[in-house]
């Protein structure tokens, strides 16, 4: 009886060990994505996920209302990866919270652009017109940089454009009334203004026609969106698989067929 009990116990222990190993191995093939509505997660779903699945991975999308919530969940290991933030956002997040998020890959990004429902050309700008731009610091800086690019304002010489604000405007020859508002509201109230600078993700959310853009920003290196993970995961096999997917010939072929009017700005790497 004792021998039989020992045999049974050994079998049970062996089964438990094997089951545990199987679960660990399987879990390494599951990539948990923190997602919120926007073009970058959509691009991942339609073009990157299929590549990962061919290599044996399963992608689980976990939805959040905002990018901030996704980042917090990543710190708690609730998600593995986020693909909707640029270097400036990640840097501020890490500095404010003392955290260890790192970027492992730049990805195609939709530039901010100038739109209007009243005019069809930048040449229509006139004295005292109203220009709407985002109120959050990073997107406001991009807007001021774009307004300088098209010649409507001048900023302090030598300024880091990632930090531009209304205080840096040293010349406004058209006396434009530049209003900073919540970026998500801009598509809804665009008819009430003359022009607006709108980030690419908001163009997507507002279901606007990107081909109607009158001018695009020149993306600074730190404004490209990135694949972001925790430092401890940057060398994991699944992280390497994501990097390989973004650099694969299959993904390049997808972009060559699905990038009308250069909607996506593609990083050189």
Question: What phi and psi values does residue 13 have, to the nearest 5 degrees?
Answer: -65, -45
Expressed as residue numbers, the domain containing 73 is 29-109+222-262
Count CB neighbours of 218 within 10 A. 11
Residue 13, in any domain of the structure: no
SS3 208: coil
Q: What is the pLDDT of residue 134?
A: 95
Q: How many CB atoms lie within 10 A of CB 200?
A: 24
d(C-alpha 141, C-alpha 145), whole Å: 6
User: Per the domain annotation, does 9 fall within a domain?
Assistant: no
Together in a domain, 124 and 206: yes
pLDDT, mean of residues 30-46: 93
Could you tell me where the beta strands, DSSP code E, fall in 78-210?
82-86, 101-106, 113-115, 130-134, 154-155, 169-171, 177-181, 195-198
Do the domain assignments include residue 167?
yes
The answer, as to whether pTM is greater than 0.85, is no
The whole-angstrom separation of Cα 36 and Cα 89 is: 16
Instruction: Return the pLDDT at 103.
Output: 97
Q: Per residue in 84-97, pLDDT tens?
A: 988 888 988 999 99
pLDDT at 23 > cutoff 90: no
State pLDDT tens for residues 223-242: 899 999 999 999 999 999 99
Look at residue 16 and tell me if it is in a domain: no
137-167: pLDDT as tens digits? 889 999 999 999 999 999 999 999 989 999 9
Mean pLDDT for the chain overall: 89
Looking at the structure, do residues 244 and 186 belong to the same domain, yes or no? no
3-to-8, 9, 28, 43 alpha-carbon distances in Å: 9, 10, 38, 60
**Burial degree of 106 (CB within 10 A; 0-12, 13-18, 19+):** buried
**CATH number of residue 144's parent domain:** 3.40.190.10
Whether 173 maps to a domain, the answer reads: yes
Answer yes or no: is 177 within a domain: yes
């Amino acid at each position: 009886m004792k021998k039989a009990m020992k045999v049974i116990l050994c079998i049970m222990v062996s089964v438990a060990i094997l089951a545990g190993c199987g679960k660990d191995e399987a879990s390494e093939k599951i990539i948990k994505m923190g997602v919120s509505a926007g073009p970058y997660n959509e691009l991942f779903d339609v073009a990157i996920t299929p590549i990962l699945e061919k290599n044996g991975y399963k992608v689980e999308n976990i939805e959040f209302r905002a990018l901030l919530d996704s980042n917090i969940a990543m710190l708690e290991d609730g998600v593995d990866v986020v693909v909707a933030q640029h270097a400036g956002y990640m840097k501020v997040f890490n500095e404010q919270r003392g955290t260890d998020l790192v970027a492992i890959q730049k990805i195609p990004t939709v530039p901010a652009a100038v739109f209007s429902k009243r005019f069809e050309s930048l040449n229509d700008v006139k004295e005292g017109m109203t220009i709407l731009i985002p109120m959050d610091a990073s997107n406001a800086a991009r807007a001021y940089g774009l307004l300088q690019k098209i010649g409507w304002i001048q900023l302090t010489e030598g300024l880091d454009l990632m930090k531009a604000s209304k205080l840096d405007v040293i010349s406004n020859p058209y006396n434009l009334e530049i209003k900073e508002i919540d970026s998500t509201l801009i598509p809804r109230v665009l008819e009430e203004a003359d022009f607006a600078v709108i980030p690419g993700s908001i163009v997507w959310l507002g279901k606007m026609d990107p081909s109607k853009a009158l001018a695009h920003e020149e993306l600074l290196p730190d404004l490209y969106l990135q694949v972001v993970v925790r430092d401890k995961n940057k060398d994991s096999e699944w992280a390497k698989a994501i990097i390989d997917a973004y650099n694969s010939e299959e993904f390049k072929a997808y972009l060559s067929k699905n990038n009308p009017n250069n909607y996506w700005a593609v990083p050189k790497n």
